[in-house]
């Protein structure tokens, strides 16, 4: 136990030192360099479809380069990129890498929809649909093979503008999901206003279900709400079998979480899907 405590302390000190070494200005500079080197890495986490017991889609998650001297958590990377006007460049790089990988899966016979997280700030970018359309053309991927996950915070600013942009993206063929549903400034008005396909329940509620009756009721309510509006519903952050079983009984459509898989490099996905079909599917 003492060793564990010492290790914790060492870990905490190391992170304090890291914070001190990088002054607030160093991080945006480091991000800019990584972006210019096209060095961001992507990981992919499967979404398990409970009804068909198959993998129909994966979520792309960006990672700071593993071989870099510094280590930067994804949330901090995204927040800083947003704050320093680097999020547009980051997003284009992410799309480019994901579409390239999607094209290579397609050529290996692996057909999955790839969900990409879209920062709320991007919905203010007038040229976004045009840019994404161009990237799709470069890699010869149909928009219907790509989903966009947007958090509720994207909707609170310019509602008129956001609505128009979401319709434009929808008309191009992209699927749309509301990420971290239930944690933001939820307004049920979006459900009829925006052309969305899916709600993604925040993992705070999914993990809270284990100990909290209220969280369980929230999850059940979101699933009911989604289905009443004809939307598909995904639970993120599933780590335990008991959570999986509860969600299945509640009628949740898709499950994502460490219980099945952590985010993995793109080149591992085909093998993992084969492994899923051979063994993991028995756990369902
Ligand atoms: P998110 O989109 O809500 O992604 C879910 C986060 O939960 C991911 O963290 C994922 O690795 C983690 N996760 C998945 N399953 C489990 C589980 O069973 N247990 C636990 N404890 N965690 C789980 P990650 O990869 O650090 O990403 C954090 C956030 O950063 C994402 O939240 C998303 O909002 C943002 N993000 C990630 N990649 C991108 C990107 O390419 N572009 C943009 N704009 N944002 C991104
Ligand atoms: Mg997401
Ligand atoms: Mg989420
Ligand atoms: Mg999140």
Q: Convert the pLDDT of each residue in 44-70 to its tens digit.
A: 999 999 999 999 999 999 999 999 988
Tokens of 200: 């993604």
List CB-based neighbours of ion ligand 3 within 5 Å. 179-180, 236
Ligand index nearest the alpha carbon of residue 200: 3
- Best substitution site from 44, 72, 74 to test ligand 1's pocket, by max atoms within 8 Å of Cβ? 74
Model pTM score? 0.92
Q: What is the DSSP letter of 68?
A: S
- Residues in CB range of 188: below 8 A, 6 or more apart: 225
Which whole number is the average pLDDT over 128-142? Answer: 96
- Say how many CA atoms lie within 13 Å of 27 toward its Cβ: 22
The ipTM of this complex is 0.98
- Best substitution site from 35, 41, 59, 61 to test ligand 1's pocket, by max atoms within 8 Å of Cβ? 61
CA of 2 to the centre of ligand 2 (A): 37
Place 121 in a pLDDT band, splitting at 50, 70 and 90.
Answer: confident
Q: What percent of the chain has pLDDT over 90?
A: 78
pLDDT computed for residue 23 by the predictor? 57
Which residue has the CA at smallest separation from atom 44 of ligand 1? 119
In this structure, the number of other CB atoms found within 10 A of the CB of residue 171 comes to 11
Query: What is d(CA 124, CA 255) in angstroms, rounded to the nearest whole number?
Result: 30
- Say if CB 19 and CB 76 are below 8 A apart: no
Q: Is the confidence at residue 180, as pLDDT, over 60?
A: yes
Tokens of 259: 């219980």
Place 202 in a pLDDT band, splitting at 50, 70 and 90.
Answer: very high
Q: Is the confidence at residue 265, as pLDDT, over 60?
A: yes
Ligand index nearest the alpha carbon of residue 262: 1
CA of 160 to the centre of ligand 4 (A): 24
SS3 state of residue 52: coil
């Amino acid at each position: 136990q003492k060793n564990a405590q010492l290790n914790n302390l060492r870990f905490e000190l190391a992170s304090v030192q890291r914070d001190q070494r990088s002054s607030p200005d160093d991080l945006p500079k480091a991000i800019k360099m990584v972006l210019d080197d096209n060095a961001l890495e992507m990981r992919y986490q499967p979404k398990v479809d409970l009804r068909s017991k198959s993998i129909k889609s994966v979520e792309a998650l960006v990672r700071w380069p593993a071989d870099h001297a510094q280590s930067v958590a994804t949330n901090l990377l995204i927040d800083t990129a947003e704050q320093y006007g680097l999020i547009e460049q980051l997003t284009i790089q992410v799309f480019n890498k994901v579409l390239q990988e999607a094209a290579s899966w397609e050529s290996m016979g692996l057909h999955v929809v790839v969900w990409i997280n879209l920062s709320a700030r991007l919905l203010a970018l007038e040229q976004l649909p045009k840019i994404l359309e161009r990237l799709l053309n470069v890699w010869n991927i149909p928009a219907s093979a790509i989903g966009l996950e947007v958090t509720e915070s994207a909707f609170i600013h310019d509602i008129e503008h956001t609505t128009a942009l979401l319709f434009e993206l929808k008309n191009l063929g992209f699927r749309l999901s509301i990420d971290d549903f239930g944690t933001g400034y939820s307004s049920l008005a979006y459900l009829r206003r925006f052309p969305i396909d899916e709600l993604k329940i925040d993992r705070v509620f999914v993990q809270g279900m284990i100990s909290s009756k209220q969280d369980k009721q929230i999850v059940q309510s979101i699933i009911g709400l989604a289905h009443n509006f004809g939307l598909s519903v995904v639970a993120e952050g599933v780590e335990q079998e008991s959570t999986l079983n509860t969600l299945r009984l509640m009628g949740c459509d898709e499950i994502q979480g460490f219980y099945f898989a952590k985010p993995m490099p793109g080149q591992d996905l085909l093998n993992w899907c084969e492994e899923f079909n051979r063994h993991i599917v028995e756990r369902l």
